[in-house]
Amino acid sequence: MYWIVAILVGPALFMMCRKPGLFQDSGFDPRLSGGEASVFDETSKAFGHQVSGLNERDEQVHELGDGAIGATFVTAPAPVNPGLGPVFSNVSCISCHHNDGKGSPTAGLVNSSLLLRLSITGTDEFGGTKAVEGFGTQLQDLAVFGVQPEAKIEIGYTEQAFSFPDGETVSLREPTYNLVSPYKALPGNLLISPRMAPPFFGLGLLQNIPEATILSFTDENDRDGDGISGRPNYVYDPVQKKMMLGRFGLKANVATLLTQVAGAYNQDMGVTNYVFPQESSWGQTQLDALHDDPELPDSILNAAVFYIKTLAVPARRNVLDPVARQGENIFTQIQCAACHKPTMQTGIDLTLKTISNQRIHPYTDLLLHDMGDGLADGRPDFQANEREWKTPALWGIGLFEKTNGVPFYLHDGRARTLEEAILWHEGEAENAKQKFVQLPSSERKALIKFLKSL
Amino acid sequence: MNRLSILFFSIAIILNLSCRKNDGNTSTDFEGLKDRALMDFVNVVALPGYEELKTKAATLNSKVTAFDANTTDTNLLAAREAWKGLRATWERCEGFLFGPVEDDEYDPETDTWPVSFNDLDSLMNSSNPLGVSDIEALSQRSLKGYHPMEYILWGKNGAQTAASINARQKQYLTSLSLHLKSQAEKLYDSWAPGGGNYGQYILNAGKGSSLYPKKQDAFTSILEGLLAICEEVGEGKMLEPFDAQDPAIVESPFSGNSVTDFKNNITGAFNAYEGKFNDDGVGLSELVRARNISLDNELKQNFNAAINSFNNITVPYEKAILEQRIQCRQTMDAISELSATLDGKLRTFIMQNIID
């Protein structure tokens, strides 16, 4: 009798103790990069769709957030969208995040998408970057009429030729940044880090990846000996008031979407909000005399966050194309997939079923990796050192040409093609890059074709 | 064959033809229609639309220049009419907001809203030069384009007179009109064969176009353009001031032109669907009609219902959101119904029928 019970209960207990794993690929449609939160659109508007399955109220909040993302701010007081500046990097979210995506690696123009983070050596009380007195941690290179910007940014490029063993050549451009006309003297130990605006879509899914999943990818001491480590960034979150795993920002320097979006309103546009109620120009000569903070209604900030959280991921194209499939195999064989992790499962979110428990293909591990001297910004950010960057997600990368005109890859937009972007990989990715370089031209093209299918 | 036989035979043929179900066309005809619709989108919709924009921007510049030279209320009125004329064309061109107008940011460069009153006043009261290059160099788009012009031409409460517009404001107006003219020229050139030739991407859709590898991509872009403008009007420009019951946040409040703007937006979308701007051409409509006549009829009915519903709003929108709320709501509902048909049935049609 007891043995019958044991036979029946034993396997059940064994199965309960097993950690849930990923199902086989064969059971899923490979086009669905965002699982249920995928959208079939290959046009320039591909990044701007809401996930399916929202209830009527959520749809309204999403639409409200869409309007907020497009809103142009003006100098306060004003009846519509007051609060711009006094110093700022741009006037609206979409001015930098073109078509909910990226933009151009220029600064100081109305359509610029590049900003400079600033700091001096040392850390603040939370282990984060140390602000530059009179400038803060981000340079605002524009200002409302009659106010002096903190400084202007001059960007220069040096082209250098790269030759593949088969004789094919590529020109790589290396940027230099020069700060001119500062409103006050800049310190000698100034550290700067250029950052291009990243795309908005899929961030709700990335926020929903269990921390344990991300930590399972870490290999800080390279125990498996593949030359690739990967380590998390832990950052201070001003909302939760504690150290948390960094997921957003190009150095994984922000923990949550709320903090990311609120920080952008404050630092990029000079719009104060309930998370960051103090003007970015606090303590500076540019500060206005208005007592209107926070300038952004709480509901608008929350709607903007919800909008970004509920943007769908564009589905893949050409998944059955034999050349793209060949490129997919090469992607794994030359170890690109060691950091650009193809597949993972999101956690449970009872309020949003289409981003809950989804099998997704973001092609990132959300970890920091040493990318070598060529890409190093020389500016630590919490636990990210001066050579480390977070692995960017690759989903949607094949549509950047459509959504952005010239795609501009990497953290500072220096790469104009995917090939250039790969050739800038060094550090932990040096081995993978060398394997790419040694590939015959047809296989390099196959790899690019795969990337363009994402 | 006697006459009776000939008559009988003829009637039989006519009856046979008239009783045939309209299967639309042979597949060869449908293929031809797709190419024709793409060709007409470039040559009958986009290029003529942007060419008209260029012409009307030049007209506005000449009227503003005339007003600057001879500051009379008559010339102010002429400048206002030219602004409205240009605005009508622009709003109709917004029925297909994709390509260079978005990629190269002609839309935000010329049609950013709201106006930054404080900065505009500061600019007018400063000694900052006001040449067209100075205007182009301004870091805020809210100081460029249609709406700062509207603010000066009409004034905050619409009571502007020629005498109340000072010399700096006139100089600003002139430079703003030159900036608009230059932007319209560049936008036209970006599509024209002698310029950026964006039209080639559409014409070569499915035939090596890097932006539109499939014809379906090009038609989907047209659909996304239709949806985007319906959403912008129905869920943004109309809904936000309506919900807030706040006339201050209506988009073109100085000229009282908002309802006309909205109507032209939806008319522009209808034109893009039908493949026409001023002249008729072949559009998505013909493709739908060839395979699903009831859907084409439904879409046309939706478009007409939305466009005609604007006629029930008889006061400027900033008043209508307070005085004619039912009419405003009915218009938004009509646009919403149109959007639903576009996003549902038309999208499905494109996916199922335009498979390159």
What DSSP line would sit under B126-160, residue for residue? S----SHHHHHT-S-GGGSSHHHHHHHHH-TTS--
Calculate what percentage of chain B has a pLDDT beyond 70: 92
Confirm whether the ipTM is greater than 0.95.
no
Query: Is the peptide bond preceding residue A86 cis, with omega within 30 degrees of 0?
Result: yes
Q: Is the pLDDT of residue B218 over 70?
A: yes
User: Is A94 within 8 Å of A67 (Cβ atoms)?
Assistant: no
User: Is A140 within 8 Å of A281 (Cβ atoms)?
Assistant: yes
What's the token pair of residue A242?
């504690």
What's the token pair of residue A434?
């060398």
pLDDT computed for residue B204 by the predictor: 97
In whole angstroms, give the CA distance from residue B228 to residue B301: 19
Range of A105-114, B85-94, B156-165 with top mean pLDDT? B85-94
Residue in chain B closest to A269 (alpha carbons) equals B140
In whole angstroms, give the CA distance from residue B153 to residue B173: 8
What pTM value is reported for the model?
0.88
Which residues from chain B sit within 8 angstroms of residue A401, using beta carbons?
Answer: 210-211
Which residues from chain A sit within 8 angstroms of residue B116, using beta carbons?
Answer: 74-75, 78, 84, 144-145
Query: Is the peptide bond preceding residue A294 cis, with omega within 30 degrees of 0?
Result: yes
> Model confidence over A123-182: pLDDT tens digits?
999 999 999 999 999 999 999 999 999 999 999 999 999 999 999 999 999 999 999 999
User: Is B142 within 8 Å of B251 (Cβ atoms)?
Assistant: no
Q: Is the pLDDT of residue A8 over 60?
A: no
> Model confidence over A304-330: pLDDT tens digits?
999 999 999 999 999 999 999 999 999
Q: Is the pLDDT of residue B255 over 50?
A: yes
Q: For residue A215, what are the contacts with CB-CB under 8 A and spacing of at least 6?
A: A232, A245
pLDDT computed for residue B28 by the predictor: 62
How many Å separate Cα A416 from the centre of its chain?
A: 18
For chain A, counts of helices (H) and of strands (E): 12, 15
User: Is A286 within 8 Å of A45 (Cβ atoms)?
Assistant: no
Contact state of B103 with A78 under an 8 Å Cβ cutoff: no
Buried/exposed A380-419: b ≥16 CB within 10 Å, e otherwise: bbbbbbebbbbbbbbbbbbbbbbbbbebbbbbbbbbbbbb
Among A183, A163, A182, A180, residue whose Cα is nearest residue A171: A163
Instruction: Please tell me what DSSP assigns to residue A355.
Output: G
pLDDT, mean of residues A86-110: 91
Contact state of B248 with A80 under an 8 Å Cβ cutoff: yes
Contact state of A79 with B246 under an 8 Å Cβ cutoff: yes
Report residue A108's pLDDT band, with 50, 70 and 90 as the boundaries: confident
Q: Is the pLDDT of residue B24 over 50?
A: no
Length of chain A: 454
Longest dimension (CA), chain A: 89
Instruction: Report angle CA B317, B92, A200 to the nearest 5 degrees.
Output: 85
Which residues from chain A sit within 8 angstroms of residue B236, using beta carbons?
Answer: 67, 70
Q: Is the pLDDT of residue B10 over 80?
A: no
Mean pLDDT of all residues in chain A? 93
In whole angstroms, give the CA distance from residue B97 to residue B318: 25
> Model confidence over A365-409: pLDDT tens digits?
999 999 999 999 999 999 999 999 999 999 999 999 888 878 899
The dihedral through the CA atoms of B54, B56, B60, B66 has a sign that is positive
Helix (H), strand (E) at residue A235: strand A234-237
In whole angstroms, give the CA distance from residue B251 to residue B142: 12
User: Is B66 within 8 Å of B295 (Cβ atoms)?
Assistant: no
Q: Is the pLDDT of residue A331 over 60?
A: yes
Report residue B18's pLDDT band, with 50, 70 and 90 as the boundaries: very low
Pairing of strands A344-345, A129-130: unpaired
pLDDT computed for residue A17 by the predictor: 47
Total Cβ atoms within 10 A of residue B95: 25
User: Is A151 within 8 Å of A134 (Cβ atoms)?
Assistant: no
pLDDT, mean of residues B160-170: 96
Calculate what percentage of chain B has a pLDDT beyond 90: 82
Which residues from chain A sit within 8 angstroms of residue B126, using beta carbons?
Answer: 145-146
Q: Is the pLDDT of residue B52 over 80?
A: yes
Residue in chain B closest to A82 (alpha carbons) equals B116
Report residue B140's pLDDT band, with 50, 70 and 90 as the boundaries: confident
Which of A43, A70, A74 is the closest to B217 by Cβ? Answer: A43
Among A49, A355, A396, residue whose Cα is nearest residue B343: A49
Length of chain B: 356
Q: Distances in Å between the alpha carbon of A284 and those of A7, A81, A94, B43? A: 74, 23, 27, 55
Q: Distances in Å between the alpha carbon of A126 and those of A120, A130, A378, A381, B56? A: 15, 10, 20, 11, 58
Which residues from chain B sit within 8 angstroms of residue A80, using beta carbons?
Answer: 113-114, 248-249
Instruction: Please tell me what DSSP assigns to residue A360.
Output: E
Q: Of B113, B139, B219, which to mutate for an interface test with A (greatest number of A Cβ within 10 Å)? A: B139
B138 vs A330, which has greater pLDDT?
Answer: A330
Count A/B contacts: CB-CB distance under 8 Å: 104
Query: Is the peptide bond preceding residue B114 cis, with omega within 30 degrees of 0?
Result: yes
Strand, helix or coil at B345?
Answer: helix
pLDDT computed for residue B133 by the predictor: 95
Report residue A102's pLDDT band, with 50, 70 and 90 as the boundaries: confident
In whole angstroms, give the CA distance from residue A346 to residue A121: 37
User: Is B73 within 8 Å of B162 (Cβ atoms)?
Assistant: yes
